[in-house]
Structure 1
Amino acid sequence: MDEIKRKPITYGIYIRKSSESEDRQVQSLVRQKTELREIVDRDGLVVHQQVFEERQSAFRTGREVFSELVDATRKGEVNAWLTWHANRLSRNPVDGGQIIHLMDEGFLDHIRTRERIYENTPQDKLMLHFEFGLSKNDSEEKSKIVRSGIKRRHERGYPSGVPPIGFLLAGSSASSGRSFWVLDKPQWKLLRQVFQRFLAGRDSVLTITNYARFVGLRTTLRGRSGGRFPTRSTIHRILTNPIYAGYFITREGIRYELEKQLPRLITEEEFNRIRIILGDHNSAKERTTRPSAFGGLITTPQGETLGTDHKFHLVCDCGHKFSHLHTKHCPRCGSEIAGLSRPRFRSYVYYYSLASRRRTVRPLRSIEERRVRDLARDHIRENLNLPDNIKQWAIRYLPELQDQVLRNRQREAERHAKFQQDLKEKRRRLTELYLDGLITKKDYEQEARSLAISGATVKSSPDFTLSVDWKKEATQILDLVGEMDLILQHGNAGEVKQAMESLGIQMVWDGEELKFNHSTKLRRLMAIIEQGRREMPAAKRRKTSELDDSGTT
């Protein structure tokens, strides 16, 4: 050790600045190097020919340049270190212990920083221990602060990083002092054209990239970069970015919704369709949901809910039709899907019985979703849809119809109660006659059976309780029935399913015929309207229609 100390001092200059949050306030590498060179020139220090320049975080072990400095120290090429601050050397206990161990073994004479020199003494090594421990704690605290800030940003509805094409980063708001996004309206308009065209299912990534360039879409201009026509990879990133559907996924797989004030370019269902077209349906961070319009609404006659089977096909330029989800090339001609000039993407949804698929004899046939839509339109048009004049008349007189029906049901309930009371009285009298010996047991049993049959043939009084907001609820149902034709014809899967569930329409598929069942609420409403049409004078209905046509209330 004495021999090593007597050697001339040769410094190894070590500078470090990582790209991570822990070093955001640290001087740049050039600035560190400049300040250390000033110390070398001022004090006439002898330095190693190599400047050990690191760009990795000291929070983790395994830094390549730091290992080179340690090796040079053990070889005797350097025996002292010159660095900007002690925390440049280590922010973890392993590297800190290695540095102290080099001093203990006599390979490292001292460490020099801008502010002081750490000699190979117990007191200075203790100070180094303290500096390394403090820097580790400082890194952990900064890391917590940064993670907390990122989480708050995500909760505000903004992902990390720069805004994608179509958005711009604005200055800090006066209220919160935080930066926010605004629309890049010219780019947003062009993006809408690109997405709408791609959703038609007639483009590959190549052709949609050419179209994006044709309409004038460019990357966001940031300083000297950007402002160029997008490449295929850029367009692919745009199409697979959920931010345009109103949400984003973090590296940890957590989903956050985009800031509510920012518009959505496409729906989430449309985004899922795009991912399926691109074959990106099994993302590692998020599994694509495949929506179906009638999932859970169709059963077999035995009560089994039908499953859904999604089919995705592509017609290649060569005319070959194949499933494209798990391949990037046409199996016939070998053409790359992303480079096709006239691709035609097709998707289908079938509903089938799982139990039927396992049968070997007469399996239940599946039914295609588009056919279900057509059959549902026909059923609603024929059984539920009302002419506008009848609909307006029904809405106007719903309270009167409700009162009329309730009065009829009340009279029916009273008749039912009287019949039950009379039946009970007849049974009592029959029992008394038998106990008094006025009739035989045979006559008693025969008459008792007759009374039992008479009571069984009379239907019980129906429960016809209506909700307090029955008129409002009935009006909403009638309005929805009137919109169902358009919803079934043009609505997406989510809209169709929500409408069918709101009406309370269930379906039964037996392999040949699709039958429709209505909820009690819907049946009651249509029964009230039909009964009102029969019982209310036609002249009154015509008068109501005339008032509605003239706009009189």
Structure 2
Amino acid sequence: MYSDIAVGIFNALVGQFLTDLSTPARALIMNNNQILYDIYCRKSMEEEDRQVLSLEAQEKECKEYADKNGLKIRKIWRESYSAKAPGRKLFNQMMQELAEGKIQGILAWHPDRLSRNSVDGGLIIYHLDKGIIKDLVFPTYTFENTPQGKWMLNIQFGQSKYYVDMLSVNVKRGNRMKLENGWRPNMAPAGYLNQKEDKTIIADPDRFPIIQRAFREIIAGHSTVMEALNKLNNEWGYKSLMFKKRGGQPLSRSSIYHLLTNSFYCGIIQYDGKEYQGKHPKMLTIEEFDKLQIVLGQKGKPRQQVHSFPLTTIIRCGECGSMITAETKTKYYPKTKNTAVYTYYRCTKKNPKIKCSQPYIREEAIEEQIDQYLSKITIPEEFKDWALKYLDYVNEHEAKVEQLSYKNINQQIEDTREELRNLTRLRIREQIDDTLFEDEKKNIQKEIKRLEELLTETNRQADEWVELMDETFNFAYYAQLHFEFGEDPMKRYIFSKLGSNFLLKDKILALELKKEYFAFTPEYRKQIKPLGLDDQRLFMLQKNNLVPADLSWLPG
């Protein structure tokens, strides 16, 4: 009995002695009882750990502390992951080995290396309560495994969590202000560069123009997505931006689709479910971006709809002028016990001044009429290829004439600038007064500006002509095929591009074909003069390998 009392008193004295001891001395005594420690080092790349020691520095300090205090180290864990939420792989693995009894203590540089969230912090306190963790040691913080020590450690974990929460609030506030000012708060996408000095985004001079070129080739129908990707990587030499450990790679297949659907390129920043108007240089107009989404089979401006009707908001009623809408009807067939869904187009009848009498029309009936219009402008593949080849030939010859014109305009600009320099010399020599100098200077500068605008406009018109011709011939060849087999967005794009003034009356669709497409119709081809393939012209075509395979499509 007395021996049991003596043991109890001894244990109580040892417990009180351990409580009063400093951390180094306590660690030394516990080490004598063969407690095994693991060193845990953690640093994330996020804002919360920007000022924290590196993994190497943490490991070095922990090792020095262990050597100084005689702690027995079993293993070193190095983790590059944020602790603001549970789910760290190595931390969880270490806690599992603690629960299995492989170690009894943890050595870390600071308590916030172990936890910055309530779940992991609570788990550590719980393991201390259950005796699974015998000891926690920190070179920068003194911990005692007592009720008071655990209470103070819990406060330390709480402070770490509060710091992360407030940091998140401040970062979100800063991001919101930046977005409202028109700037994306994170890394700029391909084709752009982040300016460190003023925290803005500028066009990447190397990548911006070739990505823009790829976008416009897809929009115009000159290239498929994969063809544009091949040109970007293999012909135009695209390589991603270089960083310390990554970069310099060609654009991947998944990445180009991400670029093609990113509204940042048309000046709209999508962030946290909201849209912001950006101040960065636009690569595409909003209209071009919407057209690109249609080409990709997506809607340009997504709206929540139960059904997709490709022809609505384009056609007007020929009787009352209201818009044509669409709806679906489900019909049940008792004999076969099947149901079928039909789409009907009808007038909205929203004109209060006219009592509209127009009937419904089945979707198939109206699409059949559109197909008839498309069949009128559809051209054979041989003619399309020849026409584009011939246009390239014509453009090449016209370019030589235009080059001479550009040269003349540039010479006029240079002569006018020389006049301005001579005028300045006269003023310096005081051979003319200020009034005359300013008047003449304004006239000369006005003339220089006019010539520069003429040069720019000439270049623009030449480029637009070539692009229009390419787009027109490709549309005339592919439109009917794409309308027949394409999805609803593609059908809508083709129909809207076909012409204007779309009217539906008495179940008959009327429209005005665009001038460039009307030129392909049989009616127009009968009106124009024959091409006149005399021997000289035929020789010119043969010489340049431009004789068409299908002569029936030539005018006349």
TM-score computed with the length of structure 2 as normaliser: 0.52
Equivalence for 2:47: 21
Equivalence for 2:63: 37
Q: Does structure 2 conserve the Cα–Cα contact (< 8 Å) formed by 1:15 and 1:83?
A: yes
Alignment of 1:474-553 (within 5 A): 509-512=505-508
Cα gap change, 1:8 to 1:248, in 2 (>3 Å): same
- Distance between the aligned counterparts of 1:220 and 1:351, measured in 2? 52
Equivalence for 2:142: 117
Cα gap change, 1:285 to 1:96, in 2 (>3 Å): farther
Cα gap change, 1:351 to 1:171, in 2 (>3 Å): farther
- Distance between the aligned counterparts of 1:368 and 1:57, measured in 2? 59
Alignment counterpart, residue 122 of structure 2, candidates 66, 77, 97? 97
- Distance between the aligned counterparts of 1:62 and 1:34, measured in 2? 26
Q: CA deviation at 1:277?
A: 2.6
- Distance between the aligned counterparts of 1:142 and 1:67, measured in 2? 25
Q: Does structure 2 conserve the Cα–Cα contact (< 8 Å) formed by 1:168 and 1:181?
A: yes
Q: CA deviation at 1:113?
A: 0.9
- Distance between the aligned counterparts of 1:35 and 1:368, measured in 2? 78
Alignment of 1:90-489 (within 5 A): 90-173=115-198, 179-212=199-232, 213-223=234-244, 225-250=246-271, 252-259=272-279, 262-281=280-299, 295=313, 298-301=316-319, 305-307=323-325, 352-353=345-346
Partner SS for 2:209:
helix
Partner SS for 1:12:
strand
- Distance between the aligned counterparts of 2:296 and 2:187, measured in 1? 25
Per-residue CA deviations over 1:483-534 (Å, capped at 9, x if unaligned) read xxx9xx999x99xx9xxx9xxx996644347599xxxxxxxxxxxxxxxxxx
Partner SS for 2:283:
coil
Cα gap change, 1:92 to 1:84, in 2 (>3 Å): same
Q: Does structure 1 conserve the Cα–Cα contact (< 8 Å) formed by 2:345 and 2:360?
A: no
Cα gap change, 1:29 to 1:351, in 2 (>3 Å): farther
Q: CA deviation at 1:33?
A: 1.3
- Distance between the aligned counterparts of 1:116 and 1:228, measured in 2? 46
Q: Does structure 2 conserve the Cα–Cα contact (< 8 Å) formed by 1:59 and 1:92?
A: yes
Extract unaligned runs of 5+ from structure 2.
1-7, 16-29, 328-342, 349-357, 375-464, 473-491, 513-556
Q: Does structure 2 conserve the Cα–Cα contact (< 8 Å) formed by 1:253 and 1:286?
A: no
RMSD: 4.7
Per-residue CA deviations over 1:357-387 (Å, capped at 9, x if unaligned) read 9668997788759979xxxxxxxxxxxxxxx
Q: Which moved more, 1:350-359 or 1:6-15?
A: 350-359
Cα gap change, 1:56 to 1:200, in 2 (>3 Å): same
Partner SS for 1:264:
coil
Partner SS for 2:41:
strand
Partner SS for 1:276:
helix
**Matched-pair identity in %:** 28
- Distance between the aligned counterparts of 2:274 and 2:219, measured in 1? 27
Amino acid at match of 1:198: I
TM-score computed with the length of structure 1 as normaliser: 0.52
Q: CA deviation at 1:134?
A: 1.0
Q: CA deviation at 1:141?
A: 0.6
Q: CA deviation at 1:255?
A: 1.5
Equivalence for 1:85: 110
Partner SS for 1:353:
strand
Q: Does structure 2 conserve the Cα–Cα contact (< 8 Å) formed by 1:365 and 1:511?
A: no
**1:67 matches 2:125:** no
Partner SS for 1:237:
helix
Q: Does structure 1 conserve the Cα–Cα contact (< 8 Å) formed by 2:37 and 2:72?
A: yes
Q: Does structure 1 conserve the Cα–Cα contact (< 8 Å) formed by 2:345 and 2:361?
A: no
Partner SS for 2:38:
strand
How many pairs does the alignment contain? 345
Give the structure with the higher percent helix: 2
Per-residue CA deviations over 1:330-378 (Å, capped at 9, x if unaligned) read xxxxxxxxxxxxxxxxxxxx99537889668997788759979xxxxxx
Equivalence for 2:410: none
Equivalence for 2:476: none
Equivalence for 2:82: 57
Q: CA deviation at 1:46?
A: 0.7
Extract unaligned runs of 5+ from structure 1.
174-178, 310-349, 373-485, 517-553
Per-residue CA deviations over 1:246-305 (Å, capped at 9, x if unaligned) read 11322x32222221xx33221223223223333455999999xx9999926712536652
- Distance between the aligned counterparts of 1:169 and 1:361, measured in 2? 50
